[in-house]
Amino acid sequence: MRAVLVHRESVDLDVAELRLRIARPVAADEEVPGDQGVLLRETVLKPASVLVPIVVREDQFTVLFTRRTAHLRAHSGQISFPGGRTEPGDPSPVATALRESAEEIGLLPDQVDVVGCLGAYRTGTGYRVTPVVGIVHPPLDLRPDANEVEEVFEVPLSFMLDPANHLRHSRVILGELRWFYAIEFGDYYIWGATAGMIVNLYRHLAR
């Protein structure tokens, strides 16, 4: 495994500026296009959405993450945003993200101020994931679904948006060299699609 630091400028924002920057259109050249080094064999990607919850704490912004339970068949133990695949009754990507967040961690829609969406992230497992960015104001009374979520935790947004923390890792999987982003915070290893979406958030805010 090899790690490479990605050097860019850091981002410093208040709530008003955060709203303005997230709400503006996404530029094609600012995004990580998806899982890199993976052949997307599916001709039709399945739609999905995640919520990127930015929590307004008294002294700083934080980003809320979940750790998936170890017994799940897919992505067990991995760190992710609350979210999942689009259901037939979901009218929009925002609706999917809010529904899944309520089901997974008990974060209700009226607690989330949706401020915009990032560009969709394509995964090697065949999903087209829309990250929905929402501002969340405490107090929070979260009730994680024990069947899906082992832990809910927060990381300072300033840490997530520091480009010195955006690492590029590579692995050879099934004979293919695959590159992906990773962010390490204490004992938490955030990688793959979740880290890629964080880098996309950074690039969108820094543009």
| Range of lowest pLDDT (39-43, 44-48, 192-196) | 39-43
pLDDT at 24 over 60: yes
Structure-block tokens of residue 188: 């938490």
- Chain segment 70-127, per-residue pLDDT in tens: 655 554 568 999 999 999 999 999 999 999 999 999 999 999 999 999 999 998 788 9
Q: What is the CATH number for 7?
A: 3.90.79.10
pLDDT > 70: what percent of the chain? Answer: 86
Alpha-carbon gap, residue 9 to 19, rounded angstroms: 20
- pTM summary value: 0.89
Looking at the 3D structure of the chain, how many domains does it have?
Answer: 1
CA angle 36, 40, 41 (to 5 degrees): 155
Confidence label for 30 from pLDDT (cuts 50, 70 and 90): confident
| Residue 88 neighbours by CB under 8 Å, 6+ apart | none
Question: Which domain, by its residues, includes 126?
Answer: 2-206
